[in-house]
Amino acid sequence: MVEYTSAELLTINAARLLRDGDVVFVGVGLPNLACNLARRTHAPHLVMIYEAGVIGAQPARLPLSIGDPTLVSGALSVCGMYDIFAFYLQRGNVDVGFLGGAQIDRFGNINATVIGEYDHPKVRLPGSGGSMEIAAWANRCYIITPHQKRRFPEKVDFRTSAGFLSHRKEREAARLRGTGPQAVVTDIGILQPDENGELILTALHPTKTVEDAKANTGWELRIASDLRYTEPPSEKELTILRDELDPQRIYLKGGE
Amino acid sequence: MSKVCSLSEAIAKYVNDGDLIYAAGFTHLIPFAAGHEIIRQRRKDLILARATPDLIYDQMVAAGCAKKVIFSYMGNPGVGSLRIVRAEIEAGNLEWEEYSHFGMISRLQAGATGLPFMPMMPTAAGDLEKANPHYRQVIDPYSGEPVVVVPALKPDVAIVHVQRCDAEGNSQIWGIIGEQKEAAFAADKVIITTEEVVDENVIRSDPNRTLIPGFIVDAVCHVPYCAHPSYTQGYYDRDNAFYLQWDEISKSKESVKNYLAEWVYGVRDRQEYWEKLGQEVHARLKVTPRLSEVVNYGSY
């Protein structure tokens, strides 16, 4: 069997969720790799938008930051920060947003702000950046995260961005234009919202078990009746990632 | 009228203790040299506003220039935590006021356009709006639905680094244009730092590229390499190695102190700083030209 790291597994499974022609609000790190992988495999017409205000980027090298100059050279368009959030995201011109965070709860709400009390933080995290708006207004959101119990509490300490709030009905009542988190890709499998907006296990990666998933989730994780296994990473996907996208293993070395 | 002066003159004249400063630039064109000059002139009690405080505010907070930060993403972009700002907040030594990126930029947009506040569609997340009383909800008088509003942000001083401007401050920027225009229009005083001071005719040859008109500018400072370790599109690359290195430096107060002593207090100005970086760094940050096609404005 082909060997791969957790980071490669996450990236490849995230890439497979993208559709050809999607307009994607890309983050740095694994989402950036996932989008570039998708563009080189099944989604050649993917349009990559970066929150720094770059539309249709074709990065020639792996950007360390969200504002790397390689994103600009050869892009379709560059605009200011207000424009990218207003004309593109708020207006409804973004199909997919990628999110991550320190905590993701049972209803897909995310905490990227603080552990402990807001006014007296135990651990102060970087904060929202664009995630509050991406979670609300991108048509579909995907979350990429390692699967650990402390990252999957029943309820987040601070709700930086909205998943389904307390129930799918609550999100619907809030009339946000986006449909909310559609999948959480972890190194154990994939969680997806059920009809109530609760995240349940819908897929396992090869060699992982339901017990692995349950033991690493902070709420009583429910299992989909049609639980499936994901396809293992292919030679082609791994070759593109390793040889073309991250040859220095800046992002892919994680979780060996 | 020429507004050209040295950066130290501009900081001495326009940046006062207690001022609200917006040093602009989303990853690109961050005016590090101005931050260092403010540190050298030992300004105190500043309110430092930026969407991403970046290393420039980490360094200014470390140097004791700030009493408060206003931000929307407090990280070292692509690397991790912004250790000094974070530690000072966790220790209760630094006030902070926090937004999402869109909230932050909407505040500037209101300030820049002379509006009292700016509306945004609700995001339903809720907790940041509870934590920061500047977030309010009002009813859209047309639909009767709630919208979220944030108040205008009006910095005392905006500092904006540009590729080129003329002696009056008519400024052209290309690449990521973040919030430079908004910061300049929102602020009371505007300090421009520039890679090149060019003739007015160069500016007039490509008017669409001018984001900031000279008549809102107070000072023009010719500061090549002002943005390092940030970058200037087409002039020099982002020093990603330094962003990674800062993650190590900022782990201890001692090494931060040593860094400031050597690279901020220990140099006279940006020229000396750039020379001190040495040829190896200069070569590493050199950019291969990639020119745009010329556009034809026509002669009328």
Residues 6 or more apart in contact with residue A205 via CB below 8 angstroms: A9, A13, A187, A188, A189, A229, A230, A232
Residues of chain A found within 8 Å of residue B26, distances taken between Cβ atoms: 52-53, 67, 81
Contact A64 B101 (CB under 8 A): no
Q: Which among B123, B181, B287 is the nearest to A136, CB-wise? A: B123
Residues of chain A found within 8 Å of residue B174, distances taken between Cβ atoms: 78
- Shortest Cα–Cα distance, B130 to chain A (Å): 10
| Domain boundaries of chain B, sorted by first residue | 7-102+153-284, 117-151
Residue A232 DSSP code: P
Q: Does B139 touch chain A (CB under 8 A)?
A: no
Cis peptide before B229 (omega within 30 of 0): yes
State both tokens at B299.
Answer: 């002669």
Q: Does B224 touch chain A (CB under 8 A)?
A: no
Residues of chain A found within 8 Å of residue B105, distances taken between Cβ atoms: 81-82, 85
CATH of range A6-245; options 3.40.50.300, 2.40.50.180, 3.40.109.10, 3.40.1080.10: 3.40.1080.10
Q: Which among A51, A81, A160 is the nearest to B128, CB-wise? A: A160
Q: Does B146 touch chain A (CB under 8 A)?
A: no
Q: Is B295's pLDDT higher than 90?
A: yes
Summarize the confidence of residues B29-37 as an average pLDDT: 98
Residues of chain B found within 8 Å of residue A51, distances taken between Cβ atoms: 101
Residues 6 or more apart in contact with residue B165 via CB below 8 angstroms: B171, B172, B192, B194, B196, B197, B198, B203, B212, B214, B217, B220
Summarize the confidence of residues A177-183 as an average pLDDT: 97
* Mutation site, A25, A55, A65, interface B, largest B CB count within 10 A: A65
Q: Is B56's pLDDT higher than 70?
A: yes
The pTM of the whole model exceeds 0.90: yes
CA distance B31 to B38: 11
Is the domain spanning B7-102+153-284 CATH 3.50.50.60? The answer is no
Q: What percent of chain B has pLDDT over 90?
A: 98
The pLDDT value given to residue A255: 53
Contact B122 A174 (CB under 8 A): yes
The pLDDT value given to residue A63: 85
Q: Is B72's pLDDT higher than 90?
A: yes
- Shortest Cα–Cα distance, B269 to chain A (Å): 26
Residue of B nearest to A176 (CA): B123
Q: Are strands B46-49 and A23-26 parallel, antiparallel or unpaired?
A: unpaired
Q: Is B175's pLDDT higher than 50?
A: yes
Q: Which among A52, A127, A171 is the nearest to B176, CB-wise? A: A52
Contact B102 A54 (CB under 8 A): no
Q: Is B229's pLDDT higher than 90?
A: yes
Contact B238 A65 (CB under 8 A): yes
Min mean pLDDT across A118-122, A249-253, B62-66 is at: A249-253
Catalytic sites of A, residue numbers: 51
Contact B178 A52 (CB under 8 A): yes
Q: Is B185's pLDDT higher than 60?
A: yes
Q: Which among A64, A133, A159 is the nearest to B78, CB-wise? A: A64
Nearest by Cα to B30 from B8, B6, B5, B50: B50
Contact A81 B28 (CB under 8 A): no
Summarize the confidence of residues A147-163 as an average pLDDT: 97
ipTM over cut 0.90: yes
Report the Cα B282 to chain-centroid distance in Å.
23
Contact B125 A72 (CB under 8 A): no
- Shortest Cα–Cα distance, B272 to chain A (Å): 25
The pLDDT value given to residue A249: 87
| Domain boundaries of chain A, sorted by first residue | 6-245
Q: Does B82 touch chain A (CB under 8 A)?
A: yes
Residue of A nearest to B293 (CA): A74
Summarize the confidence of residues A65-88 as an average pLDDT: 96
Contact A159 B126 (CB under 8 A): yes
Q: Is B80's pLDDT higher than 90?
A: no
State both tokens at B98.
Answer: 């926090």
State both tokens at A14.
Answer: 């995230």
* Tens of pLDDT, residues A83-120: 999 999 999 999 999 998 899 999 999 999 999 999 99
Q: Which residues of A93-117 are buried (b: 16+ CB within 10 A; e: fewer)?
A: bbbbbbbbbbbbbbbbbbbbbbbee
* Tens of pLDDT, residues B99-152: 999 999 999 999 999 999 999 999 999 999 999 999 999 999 999 999 999 999
Q: Does B147 touch chain A (CB under 8 A)?
A: no
Residue A256: band (very low, low, confident or very high) from pLDDT cuts 50, 70, 90: very low
Q: Is A1's pLDDT higher than 70?
A: no
Residues of chain A found within 8 Å of residue B128, distances taken between Cβ atoms: 113, 128, 132, 160
Contact B124 A162 (CB under 8 A): yes
Summary mean pLDDT of chain A: 94
DSSP reduced 3-state for B95: strand
Residue pairs between chains A and B whose CB atoms are closer than 8 Å: 173
* Tens of pLDDT, residues B149-171: 999 999 999 999 999 999 999 99
* Tens of pLDDT, residues B189-221: 999 999 999 999 999 999 999 999 999 999 999
The pLDDT value given to residue A28: 76
* Tens of pLDDT, residues A201-210: 999 999 999 9
DSSP reduced 3-state for A62: coil
Q: Is A252's pLDDT higher than 90?
A: no
The pLDDT value given to residue B62: 98
